[in-house]
Structure formats: structure tokens, C-alpha cells
Structure 1
Amino acid sequence: MKEGIHPNYREVCFVDLSNGSQFIIRSCANTKETIKLDDGRELPLFKLETSSESHPFYTGTQKSVDTMGGRVEKFRSRYARAGK
């Protein structure tokens, strides 16, 4: 393998800032911070705004469009005659 052309592929700790969940995977993500884990390892830290642990699509807490003040029903009643 040539020297200096490959990315730095190593274990990185990703932390979800919205709920504090952590997961460790191998990645090439550039990081400036490190984190000390419970098992004594010190890994690069990458902070995420949201992950599958907190995203509404994966957690099942997404809101229905119809619960926003009946906007869908207003639209349907307004344009029901136009479709006929």
C-alpha cells in the first residue's frame, strides 16, 4: 500500500446530543475531541444532532399532518367540488 494516500480509518465514538446515546463504529470522520469510555479506552468523539435513537421516524413519535388544526380537512372540503 502507498503511504499517505489512505484515510485514517479507526474506531470513533458517536454521541447523540439530543438524548446522550453513544455508539462506536469504525469511521474516517475527522474529529478534534476525544472521549474516555468506561472500559478505559480513549476514542475520537463525533457529536450528532440526531441519530436513529432520537429521530422521530425511527422512534415512532412523528406527528400526523392531520393533527395540525384540521388543515387537511379544510383543504379537502374547499377543493372537493373542483375534482367533480
Structure 2
Amino acid sequence: MKPRIHPESRSVVFRDRAADVAFLTRSTAHASKTIAWEDGKTYPLVDVEISSASHPLYTGASRIVDTEGRVERFNRRYGR
């Protein structure tokens, strides 16, 4: 890899505003806010609207509603 062309990766806290959950991970995202984490250190804070903690697909809160039915549509097209 070429030197000095990749962005700097550092520890960043992502806070899900919908679920009020925070994740400490490594990222290249820039943040203007900071937060004191559980280990006593201060990290950049990035607020996000939705994450795996609040997304309906990951939480199981929503269901896929198939009005026509995939099996029925397949059978109608190709028949038995």
C-alpha cells in the first residue's frame, strides 16, 4: 500500500439516538463532539439516527408483508 494516502483510523463512539445505545469502535469518521467513555478516556462522538440496535430488520420489530405471495406468483407464471 502507498504511504500517507489512507485516512487515519481511530477509536470513535457511535451513539444511536433512537435506541439510546452507544458503541465504541474504530472509524475514520470525524466528529465535533466528544464523550467520556466507561474506561475514563474521552473519544469523538458521532450521533446516528439508526443502527443495528434500533433497525427493524435486526430487532425483529417489522415483518415482511407479501400481499401477493411469492409462491402463488411463481405458480401462476410457471404453473405445475
Q: 1:33-60: per-residue Cα shift (whole Å, max 9, x none)?
A: 1001122110000111000011000000
Shift of residue 6 of structure 1? 3.7
- Which runs of structure 2 are paired with 1:15-30 in the superposition (5 Å)? 15-30=15-30
1:36 match: 36
Task: Tell me the TM-score normalised to structure 1 length.
Answer: 0.68
Which stretch of structure 1 is more off in the superposition, 42-51 or 6-15?
6-15
Flag structure 1 segments of 5+ consecutive residues without an equivalent.
Answer: 67-71, 76-82
**Offset of residue 64 of structure 1:** 4.6
Alignment of 1:47-66 (within 5 A): 47-65=47-65
Select the structure of larger CA radius of gyration. 1
Report the alpha carbon displacement of residue 9 of structure 1 after superposing the two structures with TM: 1.1
Q: SS state of the match for residue 57, structure 1?
A: helix
Tell me the SS of whatever aligns to 1:61: coil
Counterpart of 1:80 in structure 2 is none
Give the count of matched residue pairs.
69
- 2:71 maps to what in 1? none
Structure 2 distance, partners of 1:2, 1:57, is: 39
Q: Distance in 2 between matches of 1:7 and 1:64?
A: 39
